[in-house]
Structure 1
């Protein structure tokens, strides 16, 4: 019988990145925000509109969604500091995985949060 304790899990250190990203996408599907300027409630035929509308049905999500995206990035960074994330990996492999996870979550959260923050402004 082989001992699998020495072999690290392929998702070790990436759980919060993958699961958190999927949860944010699921939340966006449920919230069904406005994706086009033409669909904004303040769109009056001009490209710029009158501004100040929300992409979400409830304007409170203009605050909560970026806050959740920031929380996701913080959780990804915290996961990278856990010893189990680094167990069985070389320093280089650990740093590369940590860098990819943090940069991917930061890029995705900025893309998601900013795209809905400016669509109806």
Structure 2
């Protein structure tokens, strides 16, 4: 019996990374955080201020970024991600997705959540 197997997707292992990245771009477009130090409410003074209109988003953004990295790691452990691929290819894709997500989330956190601190 001949099986009709689809070839593995080129994006296999990167779906959560890409969808999460698009989610954070859309979220920041909606929230419109402060991106320049001069625009902070505490500019010229001392104390902590939030880059968002609602200071609770500092905490929510941190939670969402940790969740994004966790979901990418979880995606790399699924058997569907590894289907039809060799060992080295799977390891390189997993490492690439995890490193890309971690660097993006750390850079996003430092640039947005810590700008007014």
TM category (shorter chain) comes to over 0.9
| Unmatched runs of 5 consecutive residues or more in structure 2 | none
Q: Where has structure 1 moved over 3 Å in runs of 4 or more?
A: none
Measured on the aligned residues, the alpha-carbon RMSD in Å equals: 1.3
- Give per-residue Cα distances to partners, 1:54-104, cap 9 Å, x unaligned: 000000001000110110000000000000100111100000000000000
Secondary structure of 1:34 counterpart: coil
- What is the CA–CA distance in structure 1 between the aligned matches of 2:24 and 2:47, rounded to whole Å? 26
Secondary structure of 2:38 counterpart: helix
Secondary structure of 1:12 counterpart: coil
User: Corresponding residue for 1:17?
Assistant: 17
- What is the CA–CA distance in structure 2 between the aligned matches of 1:109 and 1:88, rounded to whole Å? 30
- What is the CA–CA distance in structure 1 between the aligned matches of 2:32 and 2:47, rounded to whole Å? 20
Structure 1 residue 27, shift from structure 2 partner: 0.4
TM-score (norm 1): 0.90
- Give per-residue Cα distances to partners, 1:13-49, cap 9 Å, x unaligned: 11100001110111011110000000001113xxxx3
| Unmatched runs of 5 consecutive residues or more in structure 1 | none
TM-score (norm 2): 0.93
User: Corresponding residue for 1:42?
Assistant: 42
User: Corresponding residue for 2:109?
Assistant: 113
Give the aligned length.
115
